[in-house]
């Protein structure tokens, strides 16, 4: 076995060049150079570790894991290989071995802050949040000057819904590195979560000065200054649903008694009993509308901003294809008279303003086609569109009905639902709107 060495010998230089090729995506020449390095130094653990990077870059997780294991076999106890293998195993749900490796790496290299960051990441990716926080807290004590560890801890604490604790760490980083974007975003998010609007407005001001054209910052700036943005930026949607995707069905349908996709599927089948129709499912999420519909004699096209939600929907094999785009863009980019039906279950609560939605839905539908969607209810004594503290929009039913009528829909039915699903142990009221495009213009 030969251990890694810091002197820039020819092999080190060659490996550096190979890394450069991998980073530049030049995988073929990288593989050739790596073969040559392997022949030159078959027992040097650094060679398979670079091989691991190459396999990773090529999307070959199994090959990367094998290469990391080989590196560790050649250099047992090498903390770099322990962390790299740990990270790979954590991604493959082999958390126990991953965390063991991270522990060994920490014990072997207690003064290396990079190993500390790697170990925290291993625990985090393994889903062992308590271990990740414990290591991050230890890291903050041992490496108080390393902002990266403190920021990692703050991020973990936010994810664990401990915004006050997270805020304290963000404040330390802010006092040392003012104007750091991630820190300011963290401080804003903590202030929002703790309901401290003055602080939130202050951090939003600082962020807007730093990132004046950022749609997300503009959204939070408007909100914290008492204005109501008329839609949610795509970044807000994807950040919620990419994280939520794997638990969505279980949590919402079983836990919160979410029925809307079934109601929409029933409403569709009542209008198309022969199952002959093409459906555009806007904000398809994990594909529950398709699941409740089952096979139809036509295509179901799913549109969603969240890649992770689409991945879940694709597993059912019911949708013909997916588009990862904004609902509004999907509608604008679809030719006229294209679908017999459009569904939109629990999505307009994120889209907000229906003015750009309704006329385009009418245009995209074939004559006689149906647009079926759900909304959360805003009271008739409230504004037409209300942004709730939940960060979702509620719509006034009479205003939705008017917008549908004015756009040219007929046969409009608004069905009031005392419970769309549960929220905070209370039924969340809403309504289902069904509207038909007239048969003749």
Ligand X SMILES: C[S@@+](CC[C@H](N)C(=O)[O-])C[C@H]1O[C@@H](n2cnc3c(N)ncnc32)[C@H](O)[C@@H]1O
**Binding residues for ligand X, per CB under 6 A?**
237, 241, 260-261, 283-286, 288-289, 303-306, 309, 326-327, 345-347, 350-351
Side-chain half-sphere exposure of 307, counting CA atoms within 13 A: 1
Contact 438, 410 (CB under 8 A): yes
Alpha-carbon distance of 304 to 343, in angstroms, equals 12
CB 369, min distance to ligand X, A: 19
Q: Are residues 56 and 27 in contact, defined by beta-carbon separation less than 8 angstroms?
A: no
- Rounded (10°) CA dihedral 355, 356, 360, 362: -10
Question: CB of residue 275 vs ligand X: minimum separation in angstroms?
Answer: 20
Tell me the closest approach of the beta carbon of residue 195 to ligand X, in angstroms.
Answer: 24
Smallest distance, Å, CB 103 to ligand X? Answer: 37
Residue nearest to ligand X as judged by C-beta position = 285
Residue 128 or 326 with smaller CB distance to ligand X: 326
Q: Which is nearer to ligand X, 88 or 289 (CB)?
A: 289
CB nearer ligand X, residue 203 or residue 248? 248
Instruction: Give least dist CB 282 to ligand X, A.
Output: 7
Q: Which of 66, 62, 64, 122 is nearest to 96 (CA)?
A: 122
Q: CB of 330: closest distance to ligand X in angstroms? A: 7
Q: What is the dihedral of CA 357, 363, 364, 365, to 10 degrees?
A: 110
Q: Closer CB to ligand X, residue 81 or residue 296?
A: 296
Three-state secondary structure call for residue 7: coil
Closer by beta carbon to ligand X, 245 or else 435? 245
Best CA proximity match to 376, nearest among 423, 437, 327, 309: 423
CB 279 within 8 A of CB 343: yes
CB of 93 to ligand X, least distance (A): 24
240: Cβ contacts below 8 Å, ≥ 6 apart: none
**Torsion angle of C-alpha atoms 165, 181, 191, 208, degrees rounded to 10:** 170
Residue 140 or 267 having the CB closest to ligand X: 267
State CA 125 to chain mean position distance. 15
Nearer to ligand X, 143 or 393 (CB): 393
């Amino acid at each position: 076995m030969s251990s890694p060495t810091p002197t820039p010998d020819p092999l080190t230089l060659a490996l550096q060049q190979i890394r450069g090729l991998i980073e530049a995506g030049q995988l073929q020449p990288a593989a050739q150079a790596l073969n040559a390095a392997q022949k030159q130094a078959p027992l040097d653990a650094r060679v398979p570790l670079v091989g691991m990077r190459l396999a990773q870059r090529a999307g070959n997780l199994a090959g990367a894991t094998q290469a990391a294991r080989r590196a560790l076999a050649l250099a047992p106890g090498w903390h770099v290989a322990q962390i790299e293998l740990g990270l790979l195993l954590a991604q493959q749900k082999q958390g126990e071995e991953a965390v063991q490796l991270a522990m060994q790496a920490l014990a072997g290299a207690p003064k290396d802050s990079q190993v500390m960051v790697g170990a925290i990441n291993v625990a985090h990716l393994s889903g062992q949040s308590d271990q990740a926080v414990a290591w991050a807290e230890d890291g903050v004590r041992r490496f108080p000057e390393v902002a990266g560890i403190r920021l990692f801890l703050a991020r973990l604490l936010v994810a664990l819904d401990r915004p006050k604790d997270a805020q304290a760490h963000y404040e330390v980083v802010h006092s040392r590195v003012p104007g750091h974007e991630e820190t300011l975003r963290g401080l804003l998010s903590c202030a929002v979560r703790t309901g401290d609007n003055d602080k939130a407005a202050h951090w939003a001001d600082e962020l807007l000065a730093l990132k004046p054209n950022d749609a997300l910052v503009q959204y939070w700036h408007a909100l914290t200054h008492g204005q109501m943005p008329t839609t949610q930026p795509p970044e807000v949607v994807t950040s919620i649903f990419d994280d939520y995707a794997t638990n969505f069905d279980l949590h919402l349908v079983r836990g919160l008694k979410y029925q809307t996709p079934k109601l929409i599927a029933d409403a569709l089948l009542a209008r198309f009993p022969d199952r002959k129709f093409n459906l555009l499912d806007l904000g398809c999420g994990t594909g529950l509308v398709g699941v409740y519909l089952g096979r139809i004699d036509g295509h179901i096209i799913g549109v969603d901003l969240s890649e992770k939600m689409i991945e879940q929907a694709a597993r059912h094999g019911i949708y013909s294809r997916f588009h990862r785009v904004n609902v509004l863009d999907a509608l604008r980019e679809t030719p006229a008279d294209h679908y017999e039906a459009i569904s939109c279950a629990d999505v307009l609560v994120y889209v907000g303003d229906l003015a750009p939605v309704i006329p385009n839905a009418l245009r995209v539908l074939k004559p006689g086609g149906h647009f079926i969607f759900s909304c959360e209810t805003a009271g008739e004594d409230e504004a037409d569109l209300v942004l709730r503290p939940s960060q979702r929009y509620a719509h006034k039913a009479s205003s939705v009905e008017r917008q549908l009528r004015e756009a040219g829909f007929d046969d409009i039915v608004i069905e009031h639902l005392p419970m769309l699903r549960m929220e905070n142990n209370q039924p969340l009221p809403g309504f289902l709107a069904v509207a038909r495009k007239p048969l003749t213009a």
